[in-house]
Structure 1
Amino acid sequence: MLLNKINPYLSLGFLSLSLTFAAQGQTLRDPTLPSQTYQSEAVANTQQSLVLNSVINGASSYAVINNKIMKVGDSVQGVRIVSIGKSHVSLSDGRKLQLFQSVTQR
């Protein structure tokens, strides 16, 4: 007789606990994910910076900039490629992209 009265209360308690945990689970964030500001900064940096990945010299010279194959006259982010050398690319805005720039600047 006593068990019949406790069962509804126990089931109601378990139900309220499970709803509480479900509500908290939706607001929790995965701690291994980078923050929102980090992601937006990374996207902004990749859109503004140009990286010379490699240069291919031969009868026609090609440059790989931001992982895209380019030749003289092509435009990347609104800037035209003026010339392609052995280890650099000259741009129409006066910039010169160097291979391994991050290593040589140390």
Structure 2
Amino acid sequence: MLLNRINSMALAFVATSLLLAASVNAQSLRDPTLPGQGYAVVTPQNISQQSLVLNSIVNGQHAYAVINNKIVAVGGKVNNGLTVSSIGQDNVTLSDGRKLQLFQSITER
């Protein structure tokens, strides 16, 4: 009987120790998917208004370009009042002289 009581006390001690250790470890572990300290959150307000991305070009009877996820034609307005001067096969020329270029496609050899 004394042996059973000692075994149950030892078992309770071990179980309590394991629970405390697990609790301490859970509190000290950090989610690895979260950014570290000192990170900057980038929101659309933080992105420069000057950055323009040519997403795609559709050529046909009328040419259209997708710039910053918006469909525009020749003469259409993009950010900051710029207009699209011309739309080529793989580039778009803006009214301020800038030329937006599509990425070259990757072909297999």
Q: TM-score, normalization: structure 1?
A: 0.59
Aligned to 2:76: 74
| Displacement after TM superposition at 1:101 (Å) | 7.1
Distance 1:14 1:50, change over 3 A: same
Distance 1:57 1:34, change over 3 A: same
Cα RMSD of the aligned pairs, angstroms, is 3.6
Query: What amino acid sits opposite 1:7 in the alignment?
Result: L
Q: How many residues align?
A: 97
Please say which structure displays the higher CA radius of gyration.
Answer: 2
Separation (CA, whole Å) in 2 of partners of 1:77 and 1:37: 28
Which of 86, 92, 95 in structure 2 is aligned with 1:89? 92
Are 2:58 and 2:64, in contact at CA under 8 Å, matched by a contact in 1?
yes
Higher share in strand: 1
Kindly, what percent of the aligned residue pairs are identical?
31
Unaligned runs of 5+ in 2: 105-109
| Displacement after TM superposition at 1:23 (Å) | 0.9
Q: TM-score, normalization: structure 2?
A: 0.58
Unaligned runs of 5+ in 1: none
- Where does structure 1 differ by over 4 angstroms across 4 or more consecutive aligned residues? 33-39, 43-48
